[in-house]
Amino acid sequence: MSQVRSRSRTEESNRPGAWQAWGMAVQINPSILSADFARLAEEAQAVEGADWLHVDVMDNHFVPNLTLGVPVVESLARATDTPLDCHLMIADPDRWAPQYVEAGAGSVTFHVEAAAAPVRLAREIRAKGARASMALKPATPIEPYEDLLPELDMLLIMTVEPGFGGQAFLDIMLPKIRRTRELISKHGLELWLQVDGGVSASTIERCAEAGADVFVAGSAVYGAADPAQAVRALRTQAQGATAHAAWACDH
Ligand code: DX5
Ligand code: ZN
């Protein structure tokens, strides 16, 4: 059930390429954190062609910033055909994450640092019909979570400290992206690897080369004169880098 619902339109309409022959589609997810919150429906439409709309939920506890919650996600889900990728930067996701599935999110990401029972939570998100995803802050290593990976549809590696858009990309996260891609390959998983924070024209290729295949971009998309064009340009860059990446050629 979650498989059908989660398939993004771009996966079906992407131009053919080497990565696609192996089932590796690049996905670009604009973050509405950098959009105009008073015009969310229009801002969602401004990135037609994006794979998912990345929705940052912040509670002023887990991160020092406050954004939006379940009612806004419900309205946004009605206002756009683009599936919603909800990134929960909140305390107690065990309690709140299922409500975001009910609100219409196609993918729900919780932070492992905040979850009391990540396996139970991932299973609950999947059982409710969404893709289950787990996020790691920059100081959280991937290695302790190797055995949890089969429970997940996506892993999010933060490439800035979560809380704000427009921060500088942390290059020191590239080895973690590489190691995570190796673990995904080692276990033969169909797990998407998302990067979030400071992803732009000048950093997206490094992320793709290291092994990411889902790219969140806030200021690089909504700060551009033409957000839809910025999505296309980022996709072209990521596809080019993926086609030449060692991790993608190994398959
Ligand atoms: C940061 C958020 C990101 C943010 C990224 O905590 O999780 O999704 O919107 O913004 P940029 O792309 O501007 O770094
Ligand atoms: Zn985010």
Is 110 annotated to bind a ligand? Reply is: no
Q: pLDDT-based confidence at 72, cuts 50/70/90?
A: very high
Q: How far apart are CA 154 and CA 160, in angstroms?
A: 18
Domain residue extents for the chain: 24-249
Average pLDDT of every residue of the chain = 92
- Which residue shows structure tokens 């954190």? 33
Q: Which residues contact 46 (CB under 8 A, 6 or more apart)?
A: 35, 222, 227, 228
Q: For ligand 1, what atom is nearest to the CA of residue 165?
A: 10
Write down the pLDDT at residue 23.
47
Read off the tokens for 201: 């024209």
Domain 24-249 sits in CATH at 3.20.20.70
* Strand 214-217 to 84-89 pairing: unpaired
Q: Which percentage of the chain shows pLDDT scores above 90?
A: 88
Q: What is the pLDDT of residues 78-99, one digit of tens each?
A: 999 999 999 999 999 999 999 9
The single residue of 85, 153, 196, 213 carrying the catalytic annotation is: 196
- The protein residue whose alpha carbon is closest to atom 4 in ligand 1 is 165
Distance 35 CA to ligand 1 centre (A): 11
Read off the tokens for 24: 């590796």
